[in-house]
Amino acid sequence: MINKLYFHHVSFMFFRIFFFNMTGSLKENRRLIIEDISNGLEKFPISLIYDDIKEFEELQNIFHKYVVNCVTVPGADSSSYYDGCDCKDDCKSEDCGCKSIHGFFYISRGLNPIFLQSNSIASNISIYECNSNCSCSPDKCPNRLVQHGVSLPLQIFKSDSGCGWGVRSHTRRIRKGEFVCEYAGEIIKTDEAKHRWIMAKEINEDNYILCLREHVKDRVLRTNIDPIHIGNIGRFINHSCDPNLQIFLTRINSLIPTAALFAKKDIGVNEELSFDYAGGVNDNSDIQEININVERKKCLCGSQYCKGFLPFDLSL
């Protein structure tokens, strides 16, 4: 089970941009647009739209590497997930080994809406997709979804909420249950996460470490994802106390989970995407336990359910 999900000590005013080939498509038509900051790494383009060339020049000076999936750093456990099914019908039958052991969560190439009823992160769900050891077709198997990456054209833009950069679908609506993207970055150990948090605080720099906790019997499994140096489109998605996306932990070829973001509801064209950095857990009960020297960041989501402050991981 997952206990809590924290996205700690965030400031939205950090210049959140990835380094990309500056000779790529850049055009001006009232607003300035970079057509694909992933440089073709994603199946669908990730565009960036902005107004001020000076703002763009500032972003140029920050180097970040775009990756499609999480990467592990030295010292992090990258144990492979080895079992797989031997289906010859692309896992259409109910006796698929992966389905019978782990369950089946997808319908019509999206998440079954029954799993989207909870307001919090699905604490008792871990999705296991068919993997490289399965005999089913990577393209036709219905139990392969997150591993195919971003599922629609997305755009980075300056949010009107005052939260800096945000993400939206600018060409079509997103249907409930549809996979949007994962939250990709470096997988780091907890000691390294603490070290990076301290270093960022000392130089007044923001960090974006996502801490996932799973309770398995008497053990707590923790996964730390840091996209500050290496990351994907997921790191641009802002927090909301009433989000339209929800995280599900998904395992594909590794015991390390992927933080997969699915649509909690139908999302309109140009509606800003968001997820709850606390996974739906009301962490305001922890405010009194936080050392007074720890500065809480004000939440700007504007929701009627706003908790006032951004979630904060007390263990860092």
**DSSP string for 173-208:** -B-TT-EEEE---EEE-HHHHHHHHHHHHHTT----
Look at residue 60 in the predicted model and tell me its pLDDT.
60
Rg (CA), the chain: 19
Look at residue 9 in the predicted model and tell me its pLDDT.
29
- The DSSP secondary-structure symbol of 27 reads E
- The DSSP secondary-structure symbol of 114 reads G
Q: Which of 202, 273, 198, 259 is nearest to 225 (CA)?
A: 259
Per-residue pLDDT tens for 247-256?
999 999 888 8
CB 45 within 8 A of CB 233: no
Look at residue 229 in the predicted model and tell me its pLDDT.
80
The answer to whether the predicted template modeling score (pTM) of the entire model surpasses 0.75 is yes
Q: Which of 246, 239, 260, 261 is nearest to 119 (CA)?
A: 246
Q: Give the pLDDT mean for 56-74.
A: 74
Instruction: Delimit the domains of the chain by residue range.
Output: 2-14+67-150+176-289
Look at residue 23 in the predicted model and tell me its pLDDT.
35
Residue 113: what residue type? Answer: P
CB 9 within 8 A of CB 207: yes
CATH fold group of domain 2-14+67-150+176-289 = Beta-clip-like (2.170.270)
At 102, is the secondary structure helix, strand, or coil? helix
Q: Give the pLDDT mean for 136-160.
A: 92
Residue 19: what residue type? Answer: F
Structure tokens at 70: 């999480």
Q: How confident is the model at residue 74 (pLDDT cuts 50, 70, 90)?
A: low
Look at residue 298 in the predicted model and tell me its pLDDT.
85
Q: Kindly give, in sequence order, each residue whose CB lies less than 8 Å from that of residue 118, ignoring residues fewer than 6 positions away.
A: 280
